[in-house]
Structure 1
Amino acid sequence: MTKEIVVTEEPSVALDSKAHSASRELDGKDSLGLEDKDDTVYVKGHPVIKTGLDVSNFLISTRDDEDPALTFRSVALGSLFTALSSVITMLYVFKPVQMQVSAVFLQLLIYLFGEAWAYLTPRPDHFKWKWLRVTLRFLNFGQPFKIKEHVVASLIASSGNNGLSGVEVYAVERLFYDRSVSASTAVLATFSIGLCGFVVAGLLRPLIVYPAEMVYWTTLPQVVLFQNLHFDRQANRKRLTKFCWALGIAAIWEIFPAYIITWLGGFSVFCLASMHAPTKTRSIFTKVFGGASSNEGVGLLNFGLDWQYIQSTYLSLPLKQQLNSWIGYLIFYPAMLGLYFSNVWSAKTFPFMSTSLFASNGTSFSTTSILNEHNTVDEAKLQQIGLPNLTATTVWGYFTQNLAIGALITHVIIFYGKDMVLAWKTARSRTQPDPHYQGMLKYKEVPTWWYITLFILAFVAGIIVNAKGETTLPVWGYLISLLLGGFIAPFSCILYGLYGSGVATNQISKMVAGAVQPGRPLANLYFASWSHQVILLAVNLANWLKVGQYTKVPHRIMFGTQIYATLLGAGLNYAVMTTIVSSKREILLNPEGNNIWSGSTLQSMNSQAITWALAKDMYGSKGRYLLVPLGIFIGLALPVIHWGLIRLFPRLKKWPINTALIVSYAGQYYYGNTSWIWSSIAVGLFSQFWLRRRMPSIYNKYNYLIGAALDGGSQIVIFILSFAVYGASGTAHPFPTWWGNPSGNPDHCM
């Protein structure tokens, strides 16, 4: 039986000094870890964090001060920073440099404002009038800023972009189809798209939230930071001092790779060695070793020291996840390069890495050239101009995404099926052994009918807007989109909870949309938005419900604030979108844009919609890219092969292989910056393979805390630089060109 563990205010300190066997080479097993036994490994008296139960027992405190969570201050701060995050995120949809406000950045800002609210406002007991004391207490004047208030405010602020997908569709519609949905359609569709996915997480929370193994690893830095900021500040002073130092150093450092010495964002020995080589050699080296610039190359052995790209993710993801990603990279490099240099799909006619569409001669493909006045595909024009072409690397990216989706479904059923049934039964009987779950039993659970009622309202809203015809998506297509998202969402949540990362699932939404709505790109956009949002919102809500379980925020408050934040953020996003699209229409339609405004994000969305509207011609039985849809069926077979090999060679069971993750990482970065990949591998090896196993006392105390500090420091500086020198405020101020900041690729590849 598992030993009873009593956790003090030092949540990261091991309490049991009994030594166990040495740490195994590979950790984690393909189960939900529901066996009730003590297999914790200790090094010098400190536990090695391997499983979700280790996280619950040794890393996260079970302390609950029963302080209020839903207060005027928490809602006010959450609303204020929802406005900040949603407006900035929407603003950057129309900028040449894309940026999102990180959750840790918001968490730190809210903490500073919350502490200022507590210390700079008068205490109620200083006044003799009762009505004034009551008012000041309601406003939380002079009262300590507690952890649950902080969590709720951060939850509201971080959930403000849940409805962003729908608003982006409206923007595409206004720009490229010269039409605007009515106010009623905008309200109802935003409500439906923004909330339709909550029901999946709500109904399945006994399976995807309550078990100890459903950790959602990438949120651990936030949870640890919450507790270190609020629990026993005197005892945690040393840790908080180190946090502040790390944040300051990260902030100062970020200025160099992001602005002054961009070479630090990606340096390659091979690129430097080829600086004076012939052009042909440099071209090859750039594709193989370059990666500091977007779409430059695959970045083999290219290291970047820019933390905005690495982030604390690789300090948080468990070793079993990172092992699978490393195997995926071993496939990624030869596949990407092999396809191009073998000229598969006429690869050499087009750029090496690009998500754009191309004509058969390699020139850019105009999406509007094949549309009629109703913005649907004109078959006569299509026959005259011809089908668009994709780069070979993009095809590989699409193919591996479908492989991962197929493998995800089969892997979960084969390897987690029995554990899922057991997890459901233990949660329904309220016997789930996780101490944090047990600590939440004193709070009223959200009734199932709340989730069902919310879904019915969102569902009916979607029926109304699609029946009106403004979305061009018929009601039966809308139903298929929800069924597709609802089917995929549980599998995605389980993988995300166990491994800290999922697989890209938006590809299947676009593919099915193209199959059921051929020739209708706008319907494709709406179909994919509803379908993918079901999956995305299920993961987001499950993630925050887990944070609430760790920090003991009552269930009903988590539910209510998620809905409030989603609707508030969507409204703000819509207001910003309509203002910018109306005033900057011409420059947003320009393929190049300028240094201030760019419609590239929306142009890409429209291009993908048109591509998938041609699914029958491009991906059908006679299509050039038939392999892409076949990827789902091939992916379904991969875990079966894995299972068969385990039956033949039982020792393979000790290896935490997940074929869905492997094939996902085999093509996940087929575009963009790749110089950070090897740096992330180095960070993962240091944190999860060496520090966690050899020095667990330091790992347990500082790994997640320092990771949060590095994220916060880099995000603060990137936010400032975006407005100060990158041109977000209207005028760019680039740093002078020199060897460390070259005019071309920062890594000195061609």
Structure 2
Amino acid sequence: MAVSIDEKVIAVEEVNDCPIEEVRLTVPITDDPTMPALTFRTWVLGVLSCLILSFVNQFFRFRQNPVSIGSISVQLAILPVGKLMAATLPEKILTVPMTGWSFSLNPGPFNIKEHVLITVFANVGSGSVYALHIVTIIKVFYKVEIQPVLAILLTLTTQMLGYGWAGLFRKFLVDSPYMWWPTSLVQVSLFRALHETEKRVKGRLTRLQFFIIALGSCFAYSIIPAYFFPSLTALSFICWMWPKSATAHQIGGGLQGLGLLSFGFDWNVVSSFIGSPLAYPAYSIVCALVGAFFALYVAAPIVHWTNSFEAKRFPIFSSRTFDEYGNRYNVTRILDQKSFSFDEQAYDSYSKVYVSTIFAFSYGMSFATLAASLSHVALFNGRSIWRQMKSSIKDKSGDVYNRIMKNYDSVPQWWFYTIFVVVLALAIFACEGFGGKLQLPYWGVLLAIALGLFFTLPIGVITATTNQQPGLNVITELIIGYLYPGKPIANVAFKTYGYISMVQSIFFLQDLKLGHYMKIPPRSMFLVQMVGTLINNVITFGTAWWLLTTVENICDVTQLPKGSPWTCPGDNVFYSASIIWGVVGPLRMFGKLGVYAKLNWFFLVGLISPVPIWWLSRKFPQHKWIKLIHTPLIFFNAGAFPEIKPVNYWTWGVVGIFFNVYVYRRYRGWWARHNYVLSAALDAGVAFLALLVYFSLQMNDIFGPDWWGADGGDHCPLAICPTDPRIMVEGCPAMS
């Protein structure tokens, strides 16, 4: 049933006592508990959406500029289909044989709760399967075969382990009104725009009208950077002014340099890596930009041009590993192919492993982020977490949304525990069986899970309040690298079980919060996420296996033909990490035998960094802005390179500051009605255009005009050059 937003329909005796203003402005406090949710239409459209997005997104992840088709696109596409099914399907009751269970093909008008569950299906389908990086580097980079059954078990167990303990943290990360999950508000806003009947005020647009206009405009414009003028994705002005200067290219390159004065005019540049800035709180954006500025324009230049770590021998901004001669590190020279383990003698006769300045600094920042996350959450959120624990024992109702959700049966804890036990057994079997292909013993699986469980709450608090999620990838690599050195596949398997189990747990909780806001029965949400995850695993694995076995030289940038999109940027970073942490090991990288031992000081820096901020916030409580200085976010964004490029950060930051600082303060009413709707429209416009261009033109080898602006790079070819005069690299000028 449609509800007019002008009627202010509020449940009897309910008031909106949510403490977060953005939530109060966006999420309604009305509910119809009789509205059907998990219907025949939900299953058909949800499963179909999950299938399509799983295939399409995995297909694009191997490409140079990955395009992620998000669940927002499905929110739009599915609405007319759902309404068509409601208008045409018979109202027939079907009974499942031998069960007595019956359902209606058409329970009435297509409603908002069905739409939410279908979108959750799509959201699961749009997510990546991180363990496929392991499959890729084994087959492509290490050139070793892996059994498909083992690969499927690996992907399935890494994706579902975190679901097993998500139930432990529901009370803190879902029920708590202070854990508001900013990204969920984008979807809530779009659902309301699509389903609520809104009376148009003269001279103004309804939210649905605004959404359609914004989507169409973005769709039409995106053909320019996607097809006719790809150089718009990275305009690096300094490189144009000094086209023959390697130093200028290193400073100004938006993709392979420090990105000074670089900018992009493409929404895909804004949102592809970091997400839509319109969904981030203003202080989160500011902290991110402070961290990026510190990394790119303070730390990296000092380290590089003082030649610390012999940095001038290598590019300033690169995700590759190098030997002491400036060449790409040849890992086959230090790897025993029979045992697939580290050959110390060969290593000593070859070279230590080196990385670019920004890559080395990113590891230091990862150390600081992890330590700062623990101390920040303990200092700033410890009291609220403790209060939440006590309230969970006393079973207090909390805010208005908690009181409304009391009308629905919650998910029993034993459901979560059962998943955990079953998946844990499969994970140990995958690692110990199949001839030890994954190299990881059972104790490694248990330790990885313990790390993921321990960090879920502090990282979850940061994600739920800032929309940014620090990872455990580096600390997991470091721990297993010391405990079990020289085993590259064991290293990445341990990292994946520890890191992704935490990520999946938080992902599950985020969807539960969306259901909390939209008043979806929790058991329906649980079932949809389980089924969606199984479908996503099977389809993404099948897609990846197909591409890995059919695309010649996939991921090998040295062998691919010029202009080939199959460069696998994420897999290249993953492979480099497996060399650094798995083959060579942290002892020879960050320990007493390595080049980068001084970076370990960042653990201490990160641990103590929140303390002065916390002290100042207590000393001067009248200055509330002090609490918004979020050191884990600053470190996290300082270490986000080299996978994320400078041009992505500055374009993202400018857009975010404009909407969530300037517009939010000056035009609060417009922001409340249109900000999140605009974010959804821009994401959908880019996604639809990318699919249309690829499948109608590029798939048939029809490309745009051949001219200067057709280059998808930033026209800074010398940014990859070393500046040490002793190092000569083909295509680079001689340095004096």
TM-score range, shorter chain: 0.7 to 0.9
**1:441 and 1:715 mapped to 2: Cα distance?**
38
**1:564 and 1:557 mapped to 2: Cα distance?**
11
Q: Would you say 1:214 and 2:179 are equivalent positions?
A: yes
Task: Deviation per CA, 1:686-745: give whole Å up to 9, x if none.
Answer: 2222222222211111111111111111121122223344x4x3635143214x445862
Greater displacement, 534-543 / 165-174: 165-174
Asked if the contact 2:230/2:712 (under 8 Å) is kept, the reply is: no
Task: Deviation per CA, 1:574-598: give whole Å up to 9, x if none.
Answer: 2223333333465555644241544
Q: Would you say 1:370 and 2:334 are equivalent positions?
A: yes
Q: Would you say 1:582 and 2:549 are equivalent positions?
A: yes
Asked if the contact 1:617/1:623 (under 8 Å) is kept, the reply is: yes
- 1:321 maps to 284
- 2:244 maps to 279
**2:545 and 2:94 mapped to 1: Cα distance?**
47
**2:535 and 2:252 mapped to 1: Cα distance?**
45
Q: Would you say 1:637 and 2:597 are equivalent positions?
A: no
Check 1:230–1:491 CA distance in 2 against 1; reply closer, same or farther (3 A cut). same
Give how far 1:174 is off: 3.2
The one of 683, 688, 691 equivalent to 1:711 is: 683
The one of 578, 595, 613 equivalent to 1:624 is: 595
- 1:686 maps to 658
The one of 387, 404, 418 equivalent to 1:422 is: 387
Give how far 1:156 is off: 1.2
- 1:298 maps to 258
**1:208 and 1:411 mapped to 2: Cα distance?**
16
Asked if the contact 2:152/2:537 (under 8 Å) is kept, the reply is: no
- 1:10 maps to 5
Check 1:647–1:483 CA distance in 2 against 1; reply closer, same or farther (3 A cut). same
**2:36 and 2:168 mapped to 1: Cα distance?**
26
Task: Deviation per CA, 1:135-161: give whole Å up to 9, x if none.
Answer: xx9564594221111111111122136
Aligned residue identity for 1:697: G
The one of 16, 33, 37 equivalent to 1:69 is: 37
Give how far 1:379 is off: 1.4
Check 1:736–1:585 CA distance in 2 against 1; reply closer, same or farther (3 A cut). closer
Check 1:654–1:503 CA distance in 2 against 1; reply closer, same or farther (3 A cut). same
Task: Deviation per CA, 1:96-143: give whole Å up to 9, x if none.
Answer: 442322222232222343233334x24438xxx9999xxxx9564594
Give how far 1:55 is off: 3.3
Aligned partner of residue 251 in structure 1, secondary structure: helix
Aligned partner of residue 619 in structure 1, secondary structure: coil
The one of 113, 123, 127 equivalent to 1:158 is: 123
For structure 1, which runs of at least 5 residues remain unmatched after alignment? 1-6, 16-35, 39-50
C-alpha RMSD of matched pairs (Å) = 3.1
Q: Would you say 1:103 and 2:71 are equivalent positions?
A: yes
Asked if the contact 1:591/1:599 (under 8 Å) is kept, the reply is: no
Asked if the contact 1:161/1:566 (under 8 Å) is kept, the reply is: no
Aligned residue identity for 1:317: Y
Q: Would you say 1:335 and 2:295 are equivalent positions?
A: no
Aligned residue identity for 1:706: L
- 1:87 maps to 55
Aligned partner of residue 115 in structure 1, secondary structure: helix
The one of 701, 719, 732 equivalent to 1:731 is: 701
Asked if the contact 1:167/1:570 (under 8 Å) is kept, the reply is: no
Check 1:747–1:353 CA distance in 2 against 1; reply closer, same or farther (3 A cut). closer
Aligned partner of residue 336 in structure 2, secondary structure: coil
**1:37 and 1:13 mapped to 2: Cα distance?**
12
Check 1:499–1:456 CA distance in 2 against 1; reply closer, same or farther (3 A cut). same
Task: Deviation per CA, 1:59-82: give whole Å up to 9, x if none.
Answer: 211222332211121122121121
- 2:733 maps to none
Asked if the contact 1:264/1:306 (under 8 Å) is kept, the reply is: yes
**1:654 and 1:14 mapped to 2: Cα distance?**
35
Check 1:69–1:661 CA distance in 2 against 1; reply closer, same or farther (3 A cut). same
**1:324 and 1:270 mapped to 2: Cα distance?**
26
Give how far 1:289 is off: 2.8
TM-score, normalised to structure 2, is 0.87
Aligned residue identity for 1:623: G
Aligned partner of residue 449 in structure 2, secondary structure: helix
Q: Would you say 1:530 and 2:506 are equivalent positions?
A: no
**2:126 and 2:677 mapped to 1: Cα distance?**
25
Asked if the contact 2:227/2:703 (under 8 Å) is kept, the reply is: no
The one of 79, 83, 91 equivalent to 1:124 is: 91
Aligned residue identity for 1:619: F
The one of 413, 437, 441 equivalent to 1:448 is: 413
Aligned partner of residue 575 in structure 1, secondary structure: helix
The one of 503, 514, 518 equivalent to 1:547 is: 514
Give how far 1:214 is off: 1.1
- 2:576 maps to 607
- 1:22 maps to none
Aligned partner of residue 159 in structure 1, secondary structure: helix
Aligned partner of residue 285 in structure 1, secondary structure: helix
Give how far 1:353 is off: 0.8
**2:258 and 2:365 mapped to 1: Cα distance?**
16
TM-score, normalised to structure 1, is 0.86
For structure 2, which runs of at least 5 residues remain unmatched after alignment? 97-101, 720-736
Aligned residue identity for 2:279: S
Aligned partner of residue 164 in structure 1, secondary structure: coil
Give how far 1:747 is off: 8.3
Aligned residue identity for 1:702: H
- 1:42 maps to none
Check 1:667–1:451 CA distance in 2 against 1; reply closer, same or farther (3 A cut). same
**2:24 and 2:369 mapped to 1: Cα distance?**
33
**2:502 and 2:604 mapped to 1: Cα distance?**
20
Aligned partner of residue 354 in structure 2, secondary structure: coil
* Mapping for residues 45-64 of structure 1, pairs under 5 Å: 53-64=20-31
Aligned residue identity for 1:396: F
Q: Would you say 1:563 and 2:534 are equivalent positions?
A: no
Aligned residue identity for 1:536: V
Task: Deviation per CA, 1:17-41: give whole Å up to 9, x if none.
Answer: xxxxxxxxxxxxxxxxxxx998xxx
Aligned residue identity for 2:43: V
**1:414 and 1:623 mapped to 2: Cα distance?**
34
Q: Would you say 1:467 and 2:460 are equivalent positions?
A: no
Task: Deviation per CA, 1:629-663: give whole Å up to 9, x if none.
Answer: 44223211111233344456556654211111112
Q: Percent identity between the aligned chains?
A: 26
Aligned residue identity for 2:251: V
**2:135 and 2:703 mapped to 1: Cα distance?**
33
